[in-house]
C-alpha cells in the first residue's frame, strides 16, 4: 500500500504511485512536526511520571501508613477509567470557565487558556495533554514500586537500621537499588505506551487548535481516515503507519533483547 495512492473520495481503485509517497513525506513539514510532537509528549510525560511515581510508591509502601489497602484501591481509579472518559473529565476541568480557572482566580492568578493558543505558542495545549497522561499513569509506576519494595527482603533493612542508618539513607542506598530493575522496565514500557497516545488527543483537542497537538498517531488518523488533512490519501497514511511501526519496533526490539529474557521467565 505504501507504493500506491488512494483517496476514496476521488479515486475508484488504488493507483500505483511509485515512490511518490516517500517524496511527499520528505517535504511534508506537518508530518515532521507530528513526529516531533509525539517525541516531545514522551519526553515530558515519562520523566515526571517516573519521579512522582517513585515518590508515591515509597509513600504507599511506608510502614507507618494506615488504611493501605483502601488507598491502593483508590489509587487504581485513574488507571481503570477508559481514557476517553478521562479526556471528557479533564475537558470539563480545563474549560475556560471551568473549576481550574475558577480556582486560579480565587488565589489571584489570572485564568489560563488551557486548550487554546492565543499567542501562537502551542506549549500550553501540549502541557495540558501531558498533565492528562501523567495523571492517568503515575499510579501504575507507584503501585509497581510499592509492590517491589514490599516483596523485597526486610532483613537487610532491619540490619541496616540496627547499624544506625537513618530512614532516608536506607531508602537511598538499600531500597531503591532493590527495585531498580522494576523501575527501568516500567520506564521503557511507559515510553512505548506513550507513543500510542491517541484517545486523549481525540477527546481533548482533536489535534488542534490548528494542528499544534497533532501527534503522529493522530496525524495518521487524520490523513487516512478523516481525509481532512492536506495530504489526505490512504497510501500516504500507510507510509506514515510504517514509519510509526519502525520507531515503535526499534524500541520493542530493544526492550525484548536487553531487558527481558523470555527463557529465564518461562523455563528457568
Partner 1 sequence: MKRESLLAIMITTVGWIIIMLYLLPFIWMVGTSFKPIGEWGVPILLSQNPTLRNYAEVLITGGIYGVRGHFPPIIKYLINSLIVSICVAFLTSFLGAMTGYAILRHRVGGTGFANWILSLRMIPPVVVLYPLVVMTKTLALHDTLGGLILVYPLITIPIATWFMIGAFKSVPKETEEAALLDGCSEFQVFYKIALPQATTGLATTFIFTFLFSWSEFLIPLLLAPSERAMPLTVFAAYFSNQYGILWGPLSAAGVIISIPVIMLAVFIRKFIVRGLTMGFVR
Sites for partner 1 among residues 111-170 (CB under 8 A):
135, 140, 143-144, 147-148
Size of site (CB under 8 A) for partner 1: 82
Question: What's 227's DSSP letter?
Answer: -
Residue 13, classed as helix, strand or coil, is coil
Q: What cell was used for 139?
A: 499510579
Closest CA to 204 of 139, 99, 133: 133
Give 5's strand partners: 15
Binding partner 1 by CB under 8 A: which of 24, 220, 229, 232? Answer: 220
Q: Which stretch binds partner 1 (CB under 8 A): 16-24, 155-163, 169-177, 237-245?
A: 237-245
- Cβ atoms of residues 34 and 218 within 8 Å: yes
**Interatomic CA distance for residues 18 and 155, integer angstroms:** 66
Binding partner 1 by CB under 8 A: which of 10, 36, 250, 252? Answer: 252
Measured from the CB atom, is 29 or 264 closer to partner 1? 264
Measured from the CB atom, is 126 or 220 closer to partner 1? 220
Q: Which stretch binds partner 1 (CB under 8 A): 19-27, 29-37, 158-166, 259-267?
A: 259-267
Write out the binding residues for partner 1, residues 76-105 only, by CB under 8 A: 76-85, 87-93, 95, 97-99, 102-103
Asked if residue 229 binds partner 1 (CB under 8 A), the reply is no
**Interatomic CA distance for residues 174 and 172, integer angstroms:** 6
Measured from the CB atom, is 121 or 167 closer to partner 1? 167
**Interatomic CA distance for residues 27 and 86, integer angstroms:** 36
**Interatomic CA distance for residues 190 and 253, integer angstroms:** 15
Asked if residue 66 binds partner 1 (CB under 8 A), the reply is yes
Q: Which stretch binds partner 1 (CB under 8 A): 29-37, 43-51, 121-129, 218-226?
A: 218-226
Q: Which stretch binds partner 1 (CB under 8 A): 24-32, 118-126, 156-164, 199-207?
A: 199-207
Question: What's 173's DSSP letter?
Answer: I
- The alpha carbons of the chain give a radius of gyration, in whole angstroms, of 23
Amino acid at each position: 500500500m505504501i507504493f500506491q495512492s488512494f483517496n476514496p473520495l476521488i479515486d475508484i481503485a488504488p493507483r500505483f504511485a511509485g515512490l511518490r509517497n516517500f517524496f511527499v513525506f520528505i517535504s511534508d513539514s506537518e508530518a515532521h512536526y507530528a513526529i516531533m510532537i509525539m517525541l516531545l509528549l514522551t519526553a515530558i510525560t515519562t520523566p515526571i511520571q517516573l519521579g512522582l511515581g517513585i515518590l508515591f510508591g515509597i509513600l504507599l509502601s511506608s510502614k507507618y501508613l494506615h488504611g493501605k489497602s483502601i488507598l491502593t484501591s483508590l489509587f487504581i481509579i485513574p488507571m481503570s477509567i477508559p481514557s476517553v472518559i478521562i479526556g471528557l473529565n479533564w475537558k470539563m476541568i480545563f474549560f475556560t470557565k471551568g473549576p481550574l480557572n475558577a480556582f486560579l482566580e480565587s488565589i489571584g492568578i489570572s485564568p489560563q487558556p488551557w486548550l487554546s493558543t492565543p499567542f501562537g505558542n502551542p506549549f500550553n495545549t501540549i502541557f495540558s495533554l501531558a498533565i492528562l497522561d501523567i495523571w492517568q499513569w503515575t499510579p501504575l509506576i507507584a503501585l509497581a514500586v510499592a509492590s517491589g519494595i514490599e516483596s523485597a527482603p526486610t532483613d537487610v533493612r532491619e540490619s541496616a537500621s540496627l547499624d544506625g542508618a537513618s530512614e532516608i539513607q536506607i531508602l537511598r542506598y538499600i531500597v531503591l537499588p532493590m527495585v531498580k530493575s522494576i523501575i527501568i522496565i516500567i520506564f521503557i514500557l511507559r515510553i512505548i505506551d506513550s507513543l500510542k497516545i491517541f484517545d486523549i488527543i481525540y477527546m481533548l483537542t482533536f489535534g488542534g487548535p490548528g494542528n499544534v497537538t497533532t501527534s503522529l498517531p493522530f496525524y495518521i488518523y487524520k490523513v487516512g481516515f478523516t481525509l481532512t488533512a492536506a495530504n489526505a490519501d490512504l497510501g500516504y497514511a500507510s507510509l506514515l503507519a510504517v514509519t510509526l511501526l519502525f520507531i515503535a519496533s526499534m524500541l520493542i526490539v530493544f526492550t525484548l533483547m536487553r531487558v527481558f529474557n523470555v527463557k529465564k521467565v518461562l523455563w528457568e
